[in-house]
Amino acid sequence: MTDAKLEIQMLHDRVMVRVSQESGERRSSGGIVIPATAQVAKRLVWGEVFGVGSHVRSVKVGDQVLFNPEEQYEVEVQGQTYLVMRERDLHAVASERTEQGTGLYL
């Protein structure tokens, strides 16, 4: 077996995302600390796209995407944890090249 490095390429409509590192707790707009254990509804999170398959149409590497992390597959590569999902599991994309934006910005 050789020690050659193998580049990972995503297949079909798959997207590889790294979730932003957060402590889990957050603050309300009024400054109240909300612990990570407080769950009122399913919480969507933002992550950065690190790889896309050849059939992915709306997302590019480097984009920020919104998704539900609880319903995705997790993989560890060189000590970093990434999530792998289908493009259709993404709820939104934040990028500089918008065509049908919401008027909201990250």
SS (H, E, C) 10-54: CCCCEEEEEECCCCCCEECCCCCEECCCCCCCCCCEEEEEEEECC
Structural domain includes residue 90: yes
86 in a structural domain = yes
Domain membership flag for residue 92: yes
Q: What is the mean pLDDT of the chain?
A: 82
CA distances in angstroms from 6 to 2, 9, 67, 77, listed in the order given: 10, 9, 28, 12
Is residue 35 domain-resident? Answer: no
Domain span at residue 89 reads 13-19+41-47+72-97
pLDDT at 23: 44
Please state the domain count of the chain. 1
Residue 29 belongs to some domain of the structure: no
At 83 the pLDDT is 94
**Per the domain annotation, does 76 fall within a domain?**
yes
User: What digits encode the pLDDT tens for the residues 46-90?
Assistant: 999 999 999 999 999 999 999 998 878 999 988 889 999 999 999
Residue 103: inside a domain = no
